[in-house]
Structure formats: structure tokens, C-alpha cells
Structure 1
Amino acid sequence: MKLKVVILSLSVFTYTGFTAQNIQNNPGSNHGNKFEQLGTILPTPNIYRTASGAPGHGYWQNRADYSITAYLDEDKRNLKGSETITYYNNSPDDLDYIWLQLDENQQSSVKKADFPYSSTLPKASNDQQLRPTDLPVSDNGYGVNLEKVTDASGNPLKYTVNKTMMRIDLPKVLKKGEKLVFKIDWNYNIPNRMKMGGRGGYENFPEDGNDLYTMTQWYPRMCVYSDFHGWQNHQFTGRGEFALVFGNFKVSMNVPADHIVGGTGECKNYDQVLTPEQLARYNKSKTSAEPVEIVTLDEAKKAEKNHSKQRKTWTFEANDVRDFAWTSSRKFVWDGMGVLIPENNNKVMAMSFYPKEAYNLYRKYSTKAVAHTIKTYSEFTIPYPYPVAQSVEAANGMEYPMICFNYGRTEKDGTYSEGIKNGMLGVVIHEVGHNFFPMIINSDERQWSWMDEGLNTFVEYLTEERWDNKFPSKRGPAWTIVDYMKLPKDQLEPIMSNSENIIQFGPNAYSKPATGLNILRETIMGRELFDKAFKTYAKRWAFRHPEPADFFRTMEDASGEDLDWFWRGWFYGTDPVDIAIDKVTIATPNLETPAREAKETKYKVDKPAVNDFEDISKIRNREDKNITFYVEKDKEAQDFYYRYDRGQEKVDNNKEYTFKVEGTEPLTQKEKDKFKNITAYQIDFVNKGGLVMPIILEFTFEDGTKLTDKSSAQIWRMNEQKASKTFYFDKKLKSIQLDPMRETADIDTSNNFWSNDGGNAQVSKFELFKQKEGGNTRGASNGKVNPMQAAGKK
């Protein structure tokens, strides 16, 4: 229902008051820096990265191609590998050394990065945890064992290992446009990831004596050399993930003959490693609308009982990927189906690998969730470009190009809780979604976890919503971040913090950035503007290395929205949202305001407009013989006021003149009837939390009808602590609800409501009158005598 609105002014009724906190960086002012541009906080644009957020005309990135052979020794739980790396220097710089990552060294007691945490006495302990402190620390036998590092001809290369990083000193400088071919042979003992933690390793199933291997971060990998960082060789501590180079992979894995292998990319020899029946099912699955079991549950159960001593080699290829991971086990059920991505007409094989312990969940949902994810992400980012997307149940969650590892097992009787089902769906969507962030839009996870985890969690939320409108998403909706935003400041840090230094890692790297993007989409920008800008960012930085400024600038560039205030508050600050209704003032018009008679006032004509005090510039200009003033050159410019200012025109400045001020008229009965139901409400708000946000109001009237209003965050730009809004309604207001849909992450909703208490609030009056029409032309004197008239001159 549309209400009549009249613009008037008003008076006072007090509700209840609060005091806003000081403004960061400018505590003495109501007008701080919340709406100032980020300016030098962001890096200076250049030929590599433009002010618009797009890659510049000089943008470059290096590349690394890998040819790898791997041998999985199940008895010794050891992985032996040999790789040839072809590294392309596309940078404008000459390189005299290169850096590689040895991630498995993080599992070593003596080679790890050693980023310790404080430790305290336990309140309780178990027998496995309680053991004498090992001093000096002994080698636990894990980590990478380098057997050989040579050039393409087999000549040894000098190298230095620093914890989880390895520097190779080149025998000659690698110049711009040149490539380097070198070889590494290595091995390592595969850790039990269920006991030691980490992303890769094996899980043992005591009931049947089998292992499930997730081979991740398993080969020496090139570090990124970039325009914004140089070598990204920060140590791997287990938390901050990876900065990696795009390239092409050819990988062969020699495993026990009864193992099933899934990996990044496409397998090139299914005809050699599968039975004829399995190969036929695989080919059938390509065109199936429902997942087809390629390796059936019965076949997986039979394989569990027989540990083959024979070997098979599986060969995979993947192009334009930044990493390669694989899985191997005889326990796997394997299903798949073809999925068409309409945006690029790409036919993708969606597949899942899972042990019998997860069968009743994964057989029903996993591959369908994979398909749903790549299709939904394709709508919001770029069309999925790869030929394969895979989900592996491995009791954890971790992502790699075209393959990810997830959890979700049933009870022994095959039943499962709703929480396990929703958690399994959420993790599959999340990890498959990582194909886009950061596997394609390739951010630096070692430095900025939020650029992959936060952006991915946001699109995960959109994808969960498309899966089921009732899906209980835990990250994305504004209200879900409130408990984190309420925490004391000593437990918070800005989103723009290094991955290793974050206390509340999950909320900070996942939830808060995802929530911020959802607030931008739903509340601040609107879906149309946001979706276009977000898609532009994905398109611009697909298969490239974006930095935070590239994201911030693109979102503004493609939408036409100045969002610096939002990045400043939500990403660089720790202030929460807590906007409160401070007081409500109610007034009605006095319809019987008496007419005001016209009256005369006395005045004198204006004196010359010259300054009483002549400043130093005027004096020096007169003394400077090189300066000729325009009015001295052009006599036509010397009018009456030229002479008046110099005392050459005489005007009686003491003579009084009379000026008539028009009166007002009383309202007619028709006008009284028009305004008789109008009530004015002035709502005063205080910003208790410090973070500015739009003001969203829901008005409920005495007749039960409702109206909503939204003011953008810019309402706070002149005063970041207080704001007021006045509304004029032609029916009585019962209550006001601030942020009715809980879409701004307000941490205290107890101060978001006002009620008229049955209409008993004190109401004041304001005058309402009819103004007589009169001239008010800009530039005219409105009937007053000017000096020219007083002197009788023109």
C-alpha cells in the first residue's frame, strides 16, 4: 500500500538512549574515515594490474609442466617418485635460482616449518598422548627424501632445503622467454593421516585390513614467481595452503593391481586397467542421466578380501591445472555420469569414489552433488572448463583440480543422521567448488586464505540454496556470523590477515568474507549488479593470479558502486554491526495555526564589498610592476561598484528603507481535511558497533498493514555515530523494527525495536500554514533597494 508523504518539519518525543563508541583513527570526531577511499592501502596500479581490477597489458605469469612416475608400495607404505619439470620464465626478470615446495616435510619432526603453538598443562590426557618429551627431537622418519636433482642431461644441480622449501641454484641465469628442464627423484614414507593429521596419507580400515590412500602435496612443486610478490616461498605450516603455477601434467601411478585409482585429469588407459565389464559401464555412464556404478559394491567387497601382489600402471593427463592429486584403494565403489555445462557446451564426467562404509550416502548423493555444483558455479563464475569432476570419500575435506576428498559415512546398518547427510552435501559442494576458487581463479592461499575459502564458501552457499531451499547453511546468511562478531576484540583480527596469524580461522577465512559477499549481493548492491561484477572478476582472473585489490577494484569497476567503505569496515576492520533505535519523536500538524500578518522591517543599503583587511597577496600584487590588473586595462569593466569600492560614488549608508515581509494564510477546510491524518515520526539511530550498514526498517501500522524502507549506508557519511530519518504517514504507527530480516549481521537485536505502546506516546505539534506565493528569483534582491538605486545610477 502506498502512503501519502508530505515534507514538513517537526518536534520531540523521546524513546531511550545509547552512546556510540569512538571512531577508529579519529576518536574526537563524529565524522571519521569510514567513507574515505582506500587510497594507498591498496597497491599502486601498474602495467601488470590496472586500477579497474583487470590484468594490465603487461601482465605475465610463469608456467611449469610436469611428467611424473609414481610407485605406491602398500606393504612399506612408501611412495617413490620421479619427475621432469619444464619451467618457463615468462617474467621480465632474469632468474639465477628457483624455489620448490616440499610439503611432506611438514610431517617430519625435524624438517617441518616449526610454527609452534603455546602449550599448557592438560586437564586430562590419554595413554597415547602422555609420553616423555623428546629432547632433543628425534627424526620420526617422515618427510621428503631427495635421491637425485639433475638437469635434463643428468648433471647434478646444487640445491638447498630450508624446511618445507627447496632452492635450486642454476648453473646459468634463466632469462626472460627461456625454459629450464630438470629432474628430481624422491621418496617418502606415507603418514597415517588419521593419527598424524594433514591432508594426504593413508587411512587404515582394521576390519578388513585395507588402506585408502589420498596422495596430495606428494611431489616437489614449483613455487609461484609473480609481479606482486617475487618468489612466494613462505613456509608450509599445515594451515596456509598453496600458491601454485599452471601447467600440463602427465602422470603414471604404479599401484597394486586390485586398486582403483582416481586422479586429476583424464585417465588415458582405462582399457588396460579396467575389466571389460567395468569399461563398458564407464562408457555407458558418459551418456547416463543417473550415476552408473562403474565398480560395483559387490566388486569392492570382493576386492577387500584379496590383496593382489600384481601391479598395474594408471596413466593420467591434465592440461592447464595448477596441481595434481590422486587416490588409490581396493575398497572403492566408483560411479559416474555425464554432465553438460550449457555455457560452453562442455561434457563433463562427474564421478565419485567411496568405500562401502559410505555407500548409502555417496551412492545416493555424491555424484549428483558434483554435477549440481559445477553447473551452479558455472552460472555465477565461468563455465567449468575441465573434462572431469570427482568426489572421493576419505573422512576429510580437501580440494585439488578435478578431484576432492570429502567425508560422510553411515552407521554400520546403513542409516545416517540428518546432520551427517547435510554435512556431507555441504563438504562435497564446498570442495568441488574449489575447482573455481582457487584452482582456476588462482589466488595465493599461503597469504590470503579468504580469497579462496571465503569466496568459495559464498558460492557454496548459493549452491546449497539451489540444492534445497530449506538447506540449513551454516555460513553465508548474515545472522550466522553474529556470534563471531560479538567476540572480544582480542579474539578478532581483520579478514585481511595472513593465513598463519588468524586465531578464529574458520569464521575469519570462511564465514565472515562469505557473509560479507552475501550482504553485498542481497542488501547493498542488489543481485543484478553484484552478479555481473562477481562474474566479471571470475572471467578476468580465470587461469591467472589475482590479489585482493584486483577483486575489490573489479567489484567496483563492473558495478559502478563505491564500496571502499565496505572493504574498509568488513575486510580491514573488526568492528561489528550494532545499529540501535535511540529515540522516536512524534508530531502532528497544528491545523489551526493562525495567519501571520505581513510586516515591515527597516534596513540600510549594503556598504562596499571590499575586505576590511588587505592581505599580503593584494599588497604584493600592487607592488609588482609586472602585474597589470584586468579592470585597469578594460575601462568597460569599471562599473558603478568599481567606483563605489574606491569611494568615487557617494551613497548615504545611514538612510533607512522599509522592506515588507509577506504573511501567511490559514488553511482552507479542504487543506485541513487533506492533512488531518498526517503523523510525523523522527527516528534517531546510534551506531553502537562502529561498522556502518544500510538502515532497513519495517513499519507496522495500527490497522495491521506493513511498509518497509531502506536507506543506504551513505546515510552515515556526515556523522558516523548518529543518524536520523523522518517519515510522514497518514495512519497511525504501531511499531518499528530495525533490520527485520536480520540481513546486516547486527549483533544486538534487543535495541532494534520500538513500540507505540498502544498509542499512549506523547505527541507534540508543529505549525502548518499556507505560504503566500512571492518572487524569490536567484540573483534578484527581492524588492530591497541596492546601492545603485540609492545613488540613482545604472
Structure 2
Amino acid sequence: MKLKVTVLSVFTFVGVSAQNIQNNPGSNHGNKFEQLGTILPTPNIYRTASGSPGQGYWQNRADYNISAYLDEDKRNLKGSETITYYNNSTDDLDYIWLQLDENEASSVNKADYPTSSVLPKALNDQKLKISELPEKDNGYGVHLEKVTDAAGTPLKYTVNKTMMRIDLPKALKKGEQFIFKVDWNYNITNRIKMGGRGGYENFPEDGNDLYTMTQWYPRMCVYSDFHGWQNHQFTGRGEFALAFGNFKVSMNVPSDHVVGGTGECKNYEQVLSSDQLSRYKKAQSSTEPVEIVTLEEAKKAEKSKSKQRKTWVFEANNVRDFAWTSSRKFIWDGMGVVIPENNNKVMAMSFYGKEAYGLYRKFSTRAVAHTIKTYSEFTIPYPYPVAQSVEAANGMEYPMICFNFGRTEKDGTYSEGIKNGMIGVVIHEVGHNFFPMIINSDERQWTWMDEGLNTFTEYLTEERWDNKFPSKRGPAWTIVDYMKLPKDQLEPIMSNSENIVQFGPNAYSKPATGLNILRETIMGRELFDKAYKTYAKRWAFKHPEPADFFRTMEDASGEDLDWFWRGWFYGTDPVDIAIDKVTIATPDLDAVPADKEVKYKVDKALVNEFQDVSKIRNKEDKNITFYVDKDKEAQDFYYRYDRAEEKVDNAKEYSLTNDNNMPLDKKDKEKFKNIQGYQIDFVNKGGLVMPIILEFTFEDGTKLYDRSSAQIWRLNELKASKTYYFDKKLKSIQLDPMRETADIDTSNNFWSADGSSAETSKFQVFKQKHDAVRGGASGKLNPMQVAGKK
């Protein structure tokens, strides 16, 4: 359906300025390499200057016991939970905060973070509806039935959009725990139509639903040393901040459904057929995926649609969240994986409908296994017993379970793009087990600490999967188009999740690219990998902040990287380093050095010309005596010279001949006959400093490479020069030949001896007669010599 659009009048002004963090903006130095001390939070007993948790570090904990009932006919979820909350903080808590994320689907209780909207050129009938003012309740969101303490006494609570505050009967002190209960229900959304991370997808061809149950229960907010309560509203973008704890969850579903969830199922014997249970046990020791629920069984279940019920029981320890999936459509396969670093035995598993069989049966579980093994190598050993991938037409992550896309055509074929996209999203979402499920950053505030670090490690894992894998995030050259954008379309990586315009490039690609540049170009793989592992080890099962990452990377590597964090994470300047000019100089090997006669006068007494106030007051102070006045042995010729007691003619002129150089001999001329000097002038046009990486190609076809660290810009952030001497002629110079620095304009990165102009000059070369004078002897007469004293 098309809409006719009439534009009445538009007055628009958009002004966005990048964060100005320069300390010396009027200068060409002293900005890019300034330390971050004034920007990072002050170290304390909770978080140290080294980037590690301090001796006073603490974090609170929440344990959950949950019962859930999935009503497939009404598409409703009913739940009852008991939460045990442990206060390990130093503070008394008068109230606690819980997240009601499902309220984001409500038309009346959502976070209300609107964005601008304009009339479209076309609109489908599902989107076109009369504007309801005020908006009516659409029936979605959490319906709280009961909130009580452990004894059943009602608790006072307040719902503020997607957050719920519970007022405690008495202050919860350090070391105490509070047990309370919540009963609730909500109507499950169609996530394909309404969007979001959780809900159901309906398959009209067979009339079945596939449920992804995420953010489905009232969850404790994080209370931390750096933020207090993290109770920022859930808008649908900024993800989650959650406390660790233990979960016991029972899910009552139709009896022909297959359920996957966070943690381990404790009653497979009751919910699986004997054949399925036998296959599951076989899969535990198999080195290739075994179908636990087969394609034929899934197709049969699609038609049967049982009205009987089963309860699946799962347990998970030391996790920050719990998610699950349920459908009668699922094929389920798995295999055992051993993590070498800790000898942990893991069940890698996948759940998928027949629509994804051609891809998921072949690749999904293998990709799960590859991911947890590779991430374990680069971060910490995978500690959990299970890792699962679910095909659900989207991508989202939770502890031990994630939802991904990747379906074939009806004939079972697929494009290479779909295949690579599916493998990439499985790696990415399984990788989230490490960032942020274990290294538990605050996603609501800093998306890059979750998505950026994970996307970088995903890139390393994709590279290990297939050397030809077409990774789109990580290689430096892939971020160039984003870095080229006008400044009013950019914001620093260090921006709150809700305020980012170019969300994907900013929160995923740019931090991932930056870490890859650190690893490959600035620090080197060995230093980077050790520091990265140190960060993962220090903050596993804890709540890190950006400063903890920045400080750890420097502390564990011995590299001063403040200039990099300042430019890449706090700024929006791009990299654009250009070859500005090349000067070629040839040697004059026949030069005859002229003896240089130097005229000079004997030095005057080296006393201050101006008697400052300190000297005057010290001299007038009768309580002060001066060492040289007391100790006659400390009085020499210059003691008297400074007091005009020794007379020297300071007006008389003397001469000194400098003859330290001599012409080259025949052997030296032969040695240097092909030498040419090249001065290469660079200009920093983009603003972001980076190493200077050069490829030299000579007329004989040979090549040489040179790297200068970014510190070459420290005394002049706008210009830099490098001089080289070669014994063969240069044909060309290529700046950043491997496109390692994300330079946005490579047209100014090349110089050719054939096609480029260069200044030419000569330089004289002499042979040095003897070593330079050392130890203070200058060859000139000093006042002591003129006076004939010793």
C-alpha cells in the first residue's frame, strides 16, 4: 500500500560534536599521548590501578527456584519463583530492584524511549493502523499475581516501566540474605512480527510454534561498587546486567515438546523415550554429532500435537541467567567435547526444525564444539557442562544456550552466504558464553565490552574454522567505510548503548577491529594474547568495567596503550596517514673537508646574572652558612674567579681549528658508491595516530619492510619524517601495504620513482679521523689555563 506524502515545512538542524578530550588543543603535541589518568575512575580497594579486582572486591548473588507452565493454546507463560538474594556489599539495603523485561512488549509499561518517525513512502497493512491516543493496553507485559516474603506475607512493591522496586521489611545488612516469592504470567509475543529476543514463531505449514523463552522471569538487578543499583530501563537495545547464582527450573510443557535450556536436565529418564536416552548417552562419547531426536521423530511429532504434559527439570550453577526453548518441531543432536585446558567434558548440542536440517545437521554442533575449544584457548577454559545452539531465525545469547538463524531452501540447498552467516552467528552467540556470561560486563551501559570483545574473539575463531572464511568484522580494512562517515554520524565507542546511532559498527565492528590492530600491528600476538587471557582470568565470574580492561591490558603487557584507548575508544578521528613528500639525496664522495676555524673567547664566570630573591635572603640569613665558605678544600680557582679574585682577559679572542674529518679513501668510495638517501615526510590528515608501516620495492624487484611505532608522532602529532639509506634505487614506497591500520584514504599511501615528483639534493660524506672528544675536554682554552693555574 502506498501513501501520498505532502511535506508542509521542515526546519531541521542537527549538531553533534565528538567528545573533546584534548588537554592541549592549541598545540601540535601533548594531546594524543596524554595519559588517561584524568578520565579513568580512581583506583580503590575494589578495583586496583593494575586492572585487577581489589582486596575489598565484592558482588551480590541471587539463587532462583522457578516453576513454569507453558500454555501452548493460549500462548501464555505462567511462573512462580523463589529468589534468595545475598547481600555481600558493604551497604545496608532498604529496597531491592528487579527487572521486568517483558514489559518492553507492553504498550503502556514499556521504557518509553521513543525515536523520531517520519511518513514512509510505502507501508504494509500490518503496520498501518489508526494512532491510538492515548495508546491502549495491548495485553502484553508482566502480570504480577503475588509478591511475598518466604512466609507468604505480601511485600510492598512499585513497578516503574521495566523495573520493579521491592521495599524490604527491614534493612538487609552485609552478610544477610532475603528470601521472597513472585508469581506472574504473561502473554507470549510473536517475535517474528513484534521483534524482540523472546517469544514464539509460528510455522503455518504445519501449524506448530517454536518458543524461545528469554527474559521470561523477574530477575534481580545488579548492585555493585561502581554503580549502585543498575536499574536503567530496558528499551530493547541495551542488554543486561545480572548477578550470578544457582538455578533450579522446572518447565511443564506439552509432552511431545523437546526442551533445551541453561544447564543440565536432571530427568532425561522421565522425559525421553528409551531410544532417545540411549542415543543421548552414545552422543556423550561420540566425536561427531549423533541425532538424539531424529528428523523422522520430529516430523511425526509435528502432526501428532499431543495434549498430554511433561515436566523437564534443569539445574545450573554459577550462571547469571536462565533461558530455554520448547517445540515439538525440534531435531536434536549432540556430541561430547573435551576442553584441553581443564579436561572439562562438555555436551555440545543443537536443536533445529526440519527447515534448517540441511545446514544445522552438518555444521551447528561442530561449530559449537569448535567455538568453546577456541575461546578456551584465547580466554579461560570453558567451565560449564553444556553448550547449545538453537535455530530460531534470529541471534541471541544466554548461559549455555543461544538462538541462531540459518535455514535452507525447501529443496535443502543453500547459498554460501547463508552457510557462512549461519556458522558465523553460531560462533558469535556461543562465544557469548565467555563475554558476558562469564566475564560479566554491564551490557546495559557498555555494549562494546560484551559485543565488541566477543566479536573480536569470534573473528579469531572464524579464522581457525577456515582460512578462507569471509569475516566482516575484525580485519582493519572492513571498518574503513564507517570511519569515513561525517563526524555528526559518529560517536565514541565509550558511549551508552541507548545513544549510539551506528550501533553495529560502533559496538561490534570498531572495538573488534581495534583489538585486532592491537594484536597484529601494535603489540604483537604473544604480548596481546597473554594480556587478553589475564583480563579473562581476572574477571571471570565478576563484573568488570572499561577501566579494568584498559588497565589490565597495559599491566599484563608492559605497553603504554593510553594513546590507543584515547584515540580509538574515546574519540571519533579516523586514520589517514599520507606520504606528503619524498626527498632523494645522493652522496658527494669526492668532497674535501675544509678545516673549520672557530673563533672564541674564554668563558666568563658562570654565576647567575640576576641575584634572585632566594639567594639574597639566604645571604642575609645569619643562621645559614654555606659549605664552600667553611671548607677551604672545597675552594678552587673558580671559587675565586666567581668572586673576581682571579683575573682573566675575557676580551681576548682565540682560535681553534676543527680538522676531525678527512676525504674518503678508495675503499670507502667503492663501499658507498650506490648509496642514496630518502627522506619521507608524512602528514597525519585523519587525526588518529598509528604506526607507520612501509613496504620498499627496489628496481631489482626485491622488497624491504619497516615499522615505526605510533610513538613517532609523540612530539608532533601532525607531521613526521623518516630517513633511510639504501645501496640500490627505490622503485616505490607503499604505506600500510597490508591495510592494517584502517586508513580511510589509501590514494595518498603510495610513491613511485617513475610517476611521482621528488626533491633531490646532495650530502657530503667524510671519513672521521678519530673518535669524538669525551669527558668534558673541548679543545678550547679555559680560564684556568689562561691564568696559568691548576
| Same fold by TM-score greater than 0.5 | yes
Change (3 A) 1:352 1:763: same
CA–CA distance in structure 2, aligned partners of residues 173 and 740 of structure 1: 63
Give the one of 679, 682, 689 matched to 2:679: 682
Deviation of 1:600 (Å): 4.1
> Aligned pair 1:610/2:607, yes or no?
yes
Amino acid at match of 1:97: Y
Q: How does 1:593-608 map to 2 (within 5 A)?
A: 593-596=591-594, 598=595, 600-608=597-605
> Aligned pair 1:784/2:783, yes or no?
no
Change (3 A) 1:171 1:739: same
The residue that corresponds to 2:124 in the other structure is: 126
The residue that corresponds to 1:650 in the other structure is: 647
Change (3 A) 1:760 1:428: closer
- Tell me, yes or no, if the aligned pair for 1:23 and 1:29 is still in contact at 8 Å: no
CA–CA distance in structure 2, aligned partners of residues 580 and 55 of structure 1: 43
CA–CA distance in structure 2, aligned partners of residues 453 and 776 of structure 1: 61
Change (3 A) 1:284 1:497: same
Where 1:737 maps in the other structure, the secondary structure is strand
- Tell me, yes or no, if the aligned pair for 1:151 and 1:183 is still in contact at 8 Å: yes
CA–CA distance in structure 2, aligned partners of residues 469 and 727 of structure 1: 36
The residue that corresponds to 2:16 in the other structure is: none
Deviations 1:736-778 (A, max 9, x none): 0000000100000000000000798563211111232265123
Change (3 A) 1:774 1:539: closer
Amino acid at match of 2:229: W
The residue that corresponds to 1:754 in the other structure is: 751
Q: How does 1:336-735 map to 2 (within 5 A)?
A: 336-596=334-594, 598=595, 600-662=597-659, 664-735=661-732
Deviation of 1:328 (Å): 0.2
Q: How does 1:11-22 map to 2 (within 5 A)?
A: none
Deviation of 1:383 (Å): 0.4
The residue that corresponds to 1:239 in the other structure is: 237
Q: TM-score, structure 2 length as denominator?
A: 0.96
- Tell me, yes or no, if the aligned pair for 2:349 and 2:387 is still in contact at 8 Å: yes
Specify every segment of 5 or more residues in structure 2 that has no aligned partner in the other structure, as ranges: 1-19
Q: How does 1:245-260 map to 2 (within 5 A)?
A: 245-260=243-258
Q: TM-score, structure 1 length as denominator?
A: 0.96
CA–CA distance in structure 1, aligned partners of residues 741 and 224 of structure 2: 37
CA–CA distance in structure 1, aligned partners of residues 111 and 545 of structure 2: 25
The residue that corresponds to 1:5 in the other structure is: none
- Tell me, yes or no, if the aligned pair for 2:99 and 2:163 is still in contact at 8 Å: yes
CA–CA distance in structure 2, aligned partners of residues 90 and 185 of structure 1: 26
Deviation of 1:24 (Å): 5.2
Where 2:43 maps in the other structure, the secondary structure is coil
Give the one of 61, 64, 68 matched to 1:63: 61
Amino acid at match of 2:736: D
Change (3 A) 1:121 1:666: same
- Tell me, yes or no, if the aligned pair for 1:599 and 1:663 is still in contact at 8 Å: no
CA–CA distance in structure 2, aligned partners of residues 775 and 581 of structure 1: 36
- Tell me, yes or no, if the aligned pair for 1:23 and 1:30 is still in contact at 8 Å: no
Deviation of 1:42 (Å): 0.5
CA–CA distance in structure 2, aligned partners of residues 300 and 468 of structure 1: 32
The residue that corresponds to 1:9 in the other structure is: none
Deviation of 1:602 (Å): 3.7
- Tell me, yes or no, if the aligned pair for 1:595 and 1:663 is still in contact at 8 Å: no
- Tell me, yes or no, if the aligned pair for 2:60 and 2:243 is still in contact at 8 Å: yes
The residue that corresponds to 2:10 in the other structure is: none
CA–CA distance in structure 1, aligned partners of residues 21 and 443 of structure 2: 32
CA–CA distance in structure 2, aligned partners of residues 305 and 763 of structure 1: 84
Give the one of 731, 735, 749 matched to 1:738: 735
Where 2:38 maps in the other structure, the secondary structure is helix
Deviation of 1:650 (Å): 1.5
CA–CA distance in structure 2, aligned partners of residues 440 and 49 of structure 1: 18
- Tell me, yes or no, if the aligned pair for 2:660 and 2:770 is still in contact at 8 Å: no
CA–CA distance in structure 2, aligned partners of residues 601 and 495 of structure 1: 59
Residue-pair matches, total = 771
Superposition CA RMSD, Å: 1.3
Amino acid at match of 2:735: L
CA–CA distance in structure 2, aligned partners of residues 43 and 61 of structure 1: 19
Greater relative CO (CA pairs within 8 A, separation 6+):
1
The residue that corresponds to 2:317 in the other structure is: 319
Deviations 1:78-103 (A, max 9, x none): 00000000000011111110000000
CA–CA distance in structure 1, aligned partners of residues 158 and 472 of structure 2: 45
Amino acid at match of 2:28: N
> Aligned pair 1:95/2:96, yes or no?
no
CA–CA distance in structure 2, aligned partners of residues 786 and 774 of structure 1: 22
The residue that corresponds to 1:6 in the other structure is: none
Deviations 1:85-143 (A, max 9, x none): 00000111111100000000000000000000001111111222121111011000000
> Aligned pair 1:135/2:139, yes or no?
no
Deviation of 1:635 (Å): 2.4
Where 1:41 maps in the other structure, the secondary structure is coil
CA–CA distance in structure 2, aligned partners of residues 315 and 603 of structure 1: 96
Where 1:636 maps in the other structure, the secondary structure is helix
Where 1:408 maps in the other structure, the secondary structure is coil
Deviation of 1:668 (Å): 1.0
The residue that corresponds to 1:4 in the other structure is: none
Give the one of 285, 288, 309 matched to 2:286: 288
- Tell me, yes or no, if the aligned pair for 2:71 and 2:253 is still in contact at 8 Å: yes
> Aligned pair 1:275/2:276, yes or no?
no
CA–CA distance in structure 2, aligned partners of residues 483 and 657 of structure 1: 67
Where 2:124 maps in the other structure, the secondary structure is coil
Change (3 A) 1:759 1:140: closer
CA–CA distance in structure 2, aligned partners of residues 760 and 202 of structure 1: 66
Where 1:143 maps in the other structure, the secondary structure is coil
Change (3 A) 1:223 1:762: closer
- Tell me, yes or no, if the aligned pair for 1:23 and 1:32 is still in contact at 8 Å: no
CA–CA distance in structure 1, aligned partners of residues 745 and 757 of structure 2: 26
Between 1:604-613 and 1:40-49, the stretch displaced more is 604-613
CA–CA distance in structure 2, aligned partners of residues 603 and 354 of structure 1: 92
- Tell me, yes or no, if the aligned pair for 1:602 and 1:657 is still in contact at 8 Å: yes
Deviation of 1:185 (Å): 0.3
Amino acid at match of 1:592: D
Amino acid at match of 1:726: T
CA–CA distance in structure 2, aligned partners of residues 651 and 705 of structure 1: 64
Deviations 1:328-358 (A, max 9, x none): 0000000000001011001100000000000
The residue that corresponds to 1:173 in the other structure is: 171
- Tell me, yes or no, if the aligned pair for 2:578 and 2:682 is still in contact at 8 Å: yes
Between 1:707-716 and 1:661-670, the stretch displaced more is 661-670
Give the one of 210, 220, 223 matched to 1:222: 220
CA–CA distance in structure 2, aligned partners of residues 32 and 106 of structure 1: 47
The residue that corresponds to 2:302 in the other structure is: 304
Between 1:638-647 and 1:314-323, the stretch displaced more is 638-647
Amino acid at match of 2:411: D
Change (3 A) 1:166 1:147: same
Where 1:763 maps in the other structure, the secondary structure is strand
